[in-house]
A and B are shown apart, each in its own frame.
Chain A
Amino acid sequence: MKKLSVLLVFVMLVSVFCAAAAQEEKSYLERAYEGEFAGTEVIFDGPFVDNDQVFFEESVKPFEEATGIDIVYVGNKDFESTIQMRVEGGNAPDIADFPQPGLLGQLAKKGYMIDVRDVIDEDWLDENYSDAWLDLAMMEGPDGEEMMAGIWARNNGKSQVYYRPDVWAEAGYTVPTTWDEMVALSHQMVEDGETPWCIGIESGSATGWPATDWLEDIMLRTVSPEQYDAWTRGELKFDSPEVRRAIDIMSEIWFTDGFVYGGREAIATTNFGESVKPLFYDVDGCMMHRMGNFITAYFPEGLEPEVDYDVFYLPPIDEEFGKPYLGGGDIYGVFNEKPEVLAAFEFFSHGESLKFWLGQGGALSPHNDADPEWYKDATEAKIAQFIQEADTFRFDGSDLMPSAVGAGTFWKGMTDLVTGADVDTVVAEIDKGW
């Protein structure tokens, strides 16, 4: 008994000592939770509006209530063009959400961003993010040295295909596990009088991006990750056997008669959000739709995940490259070193900052401490699981390429391909953008 109490005293002493040591270097977030910055405001800018804005505001509410810091979200649909103007005009927000890392890279290079490693404990970052995410946050700073320009706050997965398990069961189809099986299944569906695919790439001034996602997914399955990276840097040209092969594989699905709902002509004129709707038609719709997980926002209301719809992993093509996964995401950058801003920023490096949003669907968490239980439904959790288990994870290539290509000739070239241009013209045209 005496021994035990000695031990107890010892433990208490140690913990008091540790607490005192921790007191010395408490993080901004811990200080915020103690109420040190109550009554302050953090201006947050981003590209999402409406639904997503509500989800964001609800997600940060617990933080606001616990700390007394008010996170004010201003946001607009033209964020990508206005943020540069506002930053250069000296009117930068405190924290901003960048849907494409390229834009953050430009601002980091001009010296507007704060190096995350200076303001958040590196051990914590290592603990809560996989190396892949941390590497993707490294960008060139103003002095030419690498800096960590932001933290990944939300991501999405794109290498999955949506289908309807009940309809498939009725028709006797099974989920394909290789690309060849998938193509054979598509032929089988045509044979049975079904339309296998729903594809639409119209998206206003961004028309063509869903096509770039398809090509990236195929590239990941036919070249090594290193070659993929070289491709996004412009070192592997579009006019190369690798990319041409990927385009051929894609064309087989996109342009075979009867494979796509509405035919080849409809692909370029169907809005990507509308294109998923035939998947849920009672008859005369389509059977499969490959799209990022954010597409669930366009689904008709009242569907039950795993019953009315489900996902399968877009099958691999060349066995040696395993099971890669394509995704995108939003990275947060910080402009300002005020303590309340850094506290809020640190909060976003915790999975907890996304807990509410995960429960609503349409977002995935890149944080290691996010609980799979938080996801809205099993389908979302399944996609998160796919990403965790993937052999390689690569970021959406068109977002990594300079915007003249990634948001320019690449989009346009793929649209031209769909509307009938031949491959030689298309690859030459895209390469011109570099």
Chain B
Amino acid sequence: MAAKSGSLSEQKKSSSFLTHLVLIILCLIWFIPVFGVFVTSFRNSTNVFNSGWWRVFPHQEWQEVNEIKIDADADVNGEIEVTLPNSKTIKGTYESFKNGVNVDGMKIQWYGAKRTRTLKIYEKKWVGFESNLTLDNYRNVLTGKKIQYTGENGETLTRNGSSLGSAFLNSITVTVPATIIPILIAAFAAYGFAWLNFPGRKLFFSMVVAMMVVPLQIAIVPVLSDLSKVNLSGQFLGIWMAHTGFGLPLAIYLLFNYISTIPREILESAFIDGASNFTIFTRLILPLSVPSIASFGIFQFLWVWNDYLVGLVILGGGQKMVITQALANIVGTRGQDWHLLTAGAFVSMIVPLIVFLSLQRYFVRGMMAGSVKG
């Protein structure tokens, strides 16, 4: 008996060990690049362009310790003999010295072209943490790079370039209503589809569900042209409506699945007590469906926050630029400032992270809701 249970617990141990191992590997695969981006976001641009982010940590590096000048009368095209500081002499050609010669733990390398007539001696030394970390990237991202230009009288003027500051506000202005409106409409609709009897209920419901397969890329140009006709393109109201429309089918479907699993008895007893449909909806349905509303809320919020296409096409940029557009613009017309993306990515991540963490306890519950029906 004891032996048996021992093997069982051993089995459990080894399987949980495997699970943990897989989880750790998956986490590392995810974590290492994010960490790299995080470190990069604190490095100054010269270092970002010249070396990898792991160089921030202590490592060994060849460092110059001395140099040897070659006599002016020596022929640099032939074989050259040089005397090292430890009075050893070595021979070599330009090519061999250019590739570096290793002697006694030192590396002797030709510096530059032949005409410099200089050899440099390097030794491997430890380099500590990179000391010149900076918050400049974050500052440039939040307030815009300082762009310098020459004024009419030759004076140097500065102006700030594109920044995430106002785009951040725009994104919030877009995202909050574009999350709340579909939830409100969808909750009403889901209640109606689940509990009210009206002709064509099944047909309408299948139509809504069928909408989910229409890709938004196909619908966006017609939507834009309709919005332009009523002068809503480029307006926040227009983009709220667009996001609401694109989000509704999934919202109705998710909430329907949940609301239709609420036990009939609860609703019937409410009816017997004289509650109207509206009372039932506000007093019973809404409080009961918080988990599924929250999980859809996360979905919709993240989707709208991360959306680039709809914002770009319907709002069009300029003063009403959303954060994803600002991120794209911040690298400059020819992408020369891509190092700013690292800081930009973290700044734009903050809000979705807060939303997700604060609502995540509902997330799994809401997703599971209605998936197994008795």
Q: How far is the CB of B45 from chain A (nearest CB, A)?
A: 11
A89 touching B115, Cβ below 8 Å: no
B330 within 8 A of A: yes
CB < 8 Å A-B pair total:
125
Among A171, A277, A376, point to the contact of B115 (Cβ < 8 A). A171
Mask: chain B, 145-165; 1 = CB below 8 Å from A; 0 = not = 101011000000001011000
Q: Provided the pairs A50-B337, A89-B225 are in contact, do residues A77 and B150 lie with their beta carbons within 8 angstroms?
A: no
How long is the Cα–Cα vector from A363 to B106 in the complex, in angstroms? 49
B335 touching A55, Cβ below 8 Å: no
B225 touching A273, Cβ below 8 Å: no
Measured CB to CB, the nearest residue on chain B to A57 is: B159
A5 within 8 A of B: no
How long is the Cα–Cα vector from A112 to B357 in the complex, in angstroms? 48
How long is the Cα–Cα vector from A39 to B227 in the complex, in angstroms? 26
How long is the Cα–Cα vector from A192 to B116 in the complex, in angstroms? 10
A193 within 8 A of B: yes
Residues of B within 8 A of A58 (CB): 149, 159
Q: Provided the pairs A76-B312, A85-B220, A89-B221 are in contact, do residues A49 and B329 lie with their beta carbons within 8 angstroms?
A: yes
B336 touching A297, Cβ below 8 Å: yes
B221 touching A85, Cβ below 8 Å: yes
How long is the Cα–Cα vector from A376 to B111 in the complex, in angstroms? 36
A54 touching B161, Cβ below 8 Å: yes
B162 touching A53, Cβ below 8 Å: yes
B370 within 8 A of A: no
How long is the Cα–Cα vector from A295 to B259 in the complex, in angstroms? 61
B233 touching A50, Cβ below 8 Å: no
Q: How far is the CB of A296 from chain B (nearest CB, A)?
A: 11
A77 touching B328, Cβ below 8 Å: yes
Complex interface: stretch among A67-75, A380-388, A397-405:
A67-75
How long is the Cα–Cα vector from A160 to B125 in the complex, in angstroms? 43
B325 touching A76, Cβ below 8 Å: yes
A129 within 8 A of B: no
A284 touching B112, Cβ below 8 Å: yes
A90 touching B161, Cβ below 8 Å: no
B228 within 8 A of A: yes
Interface size of B in residues (CB-CB distance below 8 Å)? 46
Tell me the B306-345 residues at the A interface (CB within 8 Å).
Answer: 312-313, 316-319, 321, 325, 328-337
B113 within 8 A of A: yes
Residues of B within 8 A of A85 (CB): 220-221, 224, 313
Residues of B within 8 A of A360 (CB): 149-150
How long is the Cα–Cα vector from A91 to B225 in the complex, in angstroms? 7
Among B112, B149, B161, B220, point to the contact of A282 (Cβ < 8 A). B112
Measured CB to CB, the nearest residue on chain A to B335 is: A204
Among A48, A49, A50, A88, point to the contact of B221 (Cβ < 8 A). A88
* A to B CB contacts below 8 Å, 17 in the list: A48-B333, A50-B332, A51-B147, A54-B159, A75-B318, A76-B312, A85-B313, A86-B224, A89-B228, A89-B233, A90-B229, A91-B233, A204-B335, A283-B116, A284-B111, A294-B334, A297-B334
B interface residues with partner A (beta carbon < 8 Å) = 49, 94, 98, 110-116, 145, 147, 149-150, 159, 161-162, 220-225, 227-229, 233-234, 312-313, 316-319, 321, 325, 328-337
A interface residues with partner B (beta carbon < 8 Å) = 45, 47-55, 58, 72-78, 82, 85-86, 88-91, 170-171, 192-194, 203-204, 273-274, 277, 282-284, 294, 297-298, 359-360, 376
Known: A85-B313, A86-B313. 4 other contacts (CB 8 A): A85-B224, A170-B115, A193-B112, A284-B113
